[in-house]
Chains A and B, each alone.
Chain A
Amino acid sequence: MDKKQIEQKIKEILADRLDIDIKKIKLDSDLVDDLGMDSLGAVEIMYEMREKFGVDIPERELSGIEKVKDIIEYFERTCNKNI
């Protein structure tokens, strides 16, 4: 999966779970401030990631994830490691 595809997939999950227009999700969008994610939303998104891509985001990593691009970066890191 290349970076564009991952980005698209993650945006889809965010749009679906947080009920926002996918076009409004930018790489620089803040998950909480711009996209209105609450704690339940966060666990839901973690759950979706695990179900769809088999990528587990451990809780200690959560503090480092603030923006959409952080998720994608984390994603690439773990995927590359797996490969």
Chain B
Amino acid sequence: MERHKFSYDRRGLPRILSGFPADIEIENPPAGIPASISGEIGNISSEGASLLLNSSLPVSAIVTLRLDLPPDSSPIETKAQVMWSYFLARNKKFNCGVRFLDLGEKHREVLNKLIGEGMENNKSVPERRRSDRRVKTKELKERLWKAEMVLKKVKKTMGRRVVITGLGVIAPNGIGKEEFWKANLEGKSGVDLIRDFDVSLFNSKIAAQIKKIDPLDFVPKKVAKRVDRFVHLGLSSCKLALDDSKLNLNKEDKTKIGILIGSGLGGAIFHEEQILAGYEKGAHRLNPLCVPRITPNAVASHIAIQYGLLGPNMVISTACSSGTIAIGEATRKIQNNDIDICIAGGTEAPLTQFTFGAYCALRVLSRKNSSPQEASRPFDKKRDGFVLGEGSAIVVLEELNHAKKRGAHIYAEIIGYSCNSGAYHMVMPQPTGKDIVKAIIDSLKDARIKPAEIDYINAHGTSTPQNDRVETKAIKEVFGNYAYKIPVSSTKSMVGHTIGAAGAIEAVVCCLTIENQIIPPTINYKYPDPECDLDYVPNKPREAKIKTILSNSFGFGSNNACLIIRRYSG
């Protein structure tokens, strides 16, 4: 039998709380009431008990009560006076209170002993104090307060919409949004032979490089000397974006401005230089700025230092989807009311001998060295890998009301974001593309739109055989027959694969597509692939009515992310 359980009454006195049998015999029962009633003990103390009985008792009646307490104690019999009696609808019984009239000393001891034992045996029962009720009130107040906070949070974050109000881009085929957009419409490739370092032994000898950029145009000399190229590019595109947004930072609450930048590799160039220097001169003679120059978060920190921005500051490194995830997470931060403005994007400068060699060794790079500008050909049957590129893009994200209040130009609104992992492979996409399908569906759900509302897809489209096939398959699975009607194009056909910057550059393309209502093409598309049979906007830009765009990014290590960007219309 389960051992009896104890509870405590309002005054902190213990009672037996259980269903042990209790029998009652009534002397001279009035008409309609049986002489003997059975039931069970509700609570008990040495003064009296409350009983759950099968029928009601007349108040003040004197009854004989027989209690059958736990097996190791003797049964108790006593005369008792009925104090109250009422019907309990909950368990369809009568709750009767009785006061013991002649409970013998012996039985009183038994009861007290039982209660005492129970107190010792029930260590889990917290010791109650006289201030019990006050504690309970406090608990209730705390719960109420928590609920209020949740409600406040919901109210605070409800309806917070995020818009893009500034674009800054430094891409291999154009610096600044005007030049970059013009190059996109002309189908101008930024890919060329590598001349900055020796590639004679590599299979691939081409890359998308930014040629004419002087960091001093954008960055103070003292800073420029202390940072690696990926930070140069990041600071430069950040300046472009902030100028474009016309934000007056001095008028803003700088604690409400965050920075989220994507970078896959960090300061690869300086890292490599220092490793070589270390081998040459000894590791004790490395440059003192080694650590602050190489670390990937240097870019976000330098932006913060330069502009005095005090909000959350971080770098996201999820390989090829870093830029998209940075923008998506920044959107969430604004939606959650952590910040009002976020400088978000990506930057990458991987063009250095070792890093380039590492990508060559991975055999993911195109080997079409004979005509570099035609090497990146996403969705084409003869595609043979991507072209590594450097670049940076940063967008200014802003809470809608904040942007409206200062009369900012709104390029577009970010209405959906999702990211997930395929947990599959460090380099290969999941062959069925189910993780990509889920990412796209999740972003549609987040945006609360139907698949048929997507007017254009800016594909990840790297130009590797696997990615383009799986991406096409996933798009067809999500959109069904409608997939054949959506224009899909790949920016990487022109700017190569800029790893951590790719997603951000593509977000800029989406904004400019919405702004100009022209879809940039997938260049170098010549030979249709039966496995890639969608409308890839081959080679020529196309005017179209574009309202909502899906932008895909899938990173090495199965990191998938999707953004849904929509034209802002009030």
Q: Which residues of A contact B (CB under 8 A)?
A: 16-19, 40, 43-44, 46-47, 50
Residues of the B chain whose Cβ atoms lie less than 8 Å from the Cβ of A47: 287-288
B274 to chain A, nearest CB (A): 12
Contact check: which of A16, A19, A44, A50 meets B289 at CB < 8 Å?
Answer: A44
Q: Which residues of B contact A (CB under 8 A)?
A: 220-222, 225-226, 285, 287-289, 292
A-B contact pairs, 17 of them (CB 8 A): A16-B225, A17-B225, A19-B220, A19-B221, A19-B222, A19-B225, A40-B226, A40-B288, A40-B289, A40-B292, A43-B289, A44-B226, A44-B288, A44-B289, A46-B288, A47-B287, A50-B285
Q: How far is A32 from B493 in the complex, measured between Cα atoms in Å?
A: 50
Given pairs A18-B222, A40-B226, 16 additional interface contacts (CB within 8 A)? A16-B225, A17-B225, A19-B220, A19-B221, A19-B222, A40-B288, A40-B289, A40-B292, A43-B288, A43-B289, A44-B226, A44-B288, A44-B289, A46-B288, A47-B288, A50-B285
Residues of the B chain whose Cβ atoms lie less than 8 Å from the Cβ of A50: 285
A15 to chain B, nearest CB (A): 10
Nearest-neighbor residue (CB-CB) of A51 within chain B: B285
Name the prevailing secondary structure of the B interface residues.
loop
Residues of the B chain whose Cβ atoms lie less than 8 Å from the Cβ of A40: 226, 288-289, 292
* Those 10 A-B pairs whose CB atoms lie nearest each other, nearest first: A19-B222, A43-B288, A19-B221, A47-B288, A47-B287, A44-B288, A44-B289, A40-B289, A18-B222, A19-B220
Nearest-neighbor residue (CB-CB) of B224 within chain A: A19
Q: How far is A37 from B221 in the complex, measured between Cα atoms in Å?
A: 14
Nearest-neighbor residue (CB-CB) of A42 within chain B: B288
Q: How far is A50 from B220 in the complex, measured between Cα atoms in Å?
A: 26
Q: How far is A9 from B121 in the complex, measured between Cα atoms in Å?
A: 85
A35 to chain B, nearest CB (A): 11
Nearest-neighbor residue (CB-CB) of A20 within chain B: B222
Nearest-neighbor residue (CB-CB) of B221 within chain A: A19
Nearest-neighbor residue (CB-CB) of A43 within chain B: B288
A82 to chain B, nearest CB (A): 18
Residues of the B chain whose Cβ atoms lie less than 8 Å from the Cβ of A16: 225
Residues of the A chain whose Cβ atoms lie less than 8 Å from the Cβ of B289: 40, 43-44
Q: How far is A51 from B259 in the complex, measured between Cα atoms in Å?
A: 36
Residues of the B chain whose Cβ atoms lie less than 8 Å from the Cβ of A19: 220-222, 225
Residues of the B chain whose Cβ atoms lie less than 8 Å from the Cβ of A46: 288
Q: How far is A16 from B226 in the complex, measured between Cα atoms in Å?
A: 11
Q: How far is A10 from B510 in the complex, measured between Cα atoms in Å?
A: 51
Residues of the B chain whose Cβ atoms lie less than 8 Å from the Cβ of A43: 288-289
Residues of the B chain whose Cβ atoms lie less than 8 Å from the Cβ of A18: 222
Q: How far is A47 from B226 in the complex, measured between Cα atoms in Å?
A: 13
B231 to chain A, nearest CB (A): 14
A33 to chain B, nearest CB (A): 17
B476 to chain A, nearest CB (A): 53
Nearest-neighbor residue (CB-CB) of B286 within chain A: A47
Nearest-neighbor residue (CB-CB) of B220 within chain A: A19
A21 to chain B, nearest CB (A): 11
Q: How far is A40 from B290 in the complex, measured between Cα atoms in Å?
A: 11
Q: How far is A44 from B221 in the complex, measured between Cα atoms in Å?
A: 15
Q: How far is A47 from B289 in the complex, measured between Cα atoms in Å?
A: 10
Of A16, A19, A43, chain B has the most CB atoms within 10 Å of the CB of: A19
Q: How far is A44 from B226 in the complex, measured between Cα atoms in Å?
A: 9
Q: How far is A47 from B288 in the complex, measured between Cα atoms in Å?
A: 7
Q: How far is A43 from B287 in the complex, measured between Cα atoms in Å?
A: 9
B531 to chain A, nearest CB (A): 53
Q: How far is A46 from B285 in the complex, measured between Cα atoms in Å?
A: 11
Nearest-neighbor residue (CB-CB) of B223 within chain A: A19
A72 to chain B, nearest CB (A): 21
Residues of the A chain whose Cβ atoms lie less than 8 Å from the Cβ of B226: 40, 44
Nearest-neighbor residue (CB-CB) of B281 within chain A: A51
Q: How far is A40 from B302 in the complex, measured between Cα atoms in Å?
A: 14
Of B220, B285, B288, B289, chain A has the most CB atoms within 10 Å of the CB of: B288
Residues of the A chain whose Cβ atoms lie less than 8 Å from the Cβ of B288: 40, 43-44, 46-47
Residues of the A chain whose Cβ atoms lie less than 8 Å from the Cβ of B220: 19
Q: How far is A47 from B274 in the complex, measured between Cα atoms in Å?
A: 13
Nearest-neighbor residue (CB-CB) of A50 within chain B: B285
Nearest-neighbor residue (CB-CB) of A41 within chain B: B222
Q: How far is A46 from B226 in the complex, measured between Cα atoms in Å?
A: 15
Q: How far is A25 from B292 in the complex, measured between Cα atoms in Å?
A: 27
A54 to chain B, nearest CB (A): 11
B222 to chain A, nearest CB (A): 4
Q: How far is A19 from B222 in the complex, measured between Cα atoms in Å?
A: 5
Nearest-neighbor residue (CB-CB) of A17 within chain B: B225
Nearest-neighbor residue (CB-CB) of A46 within chain B: B288
A45 to chain B, nearest CB (A): 10
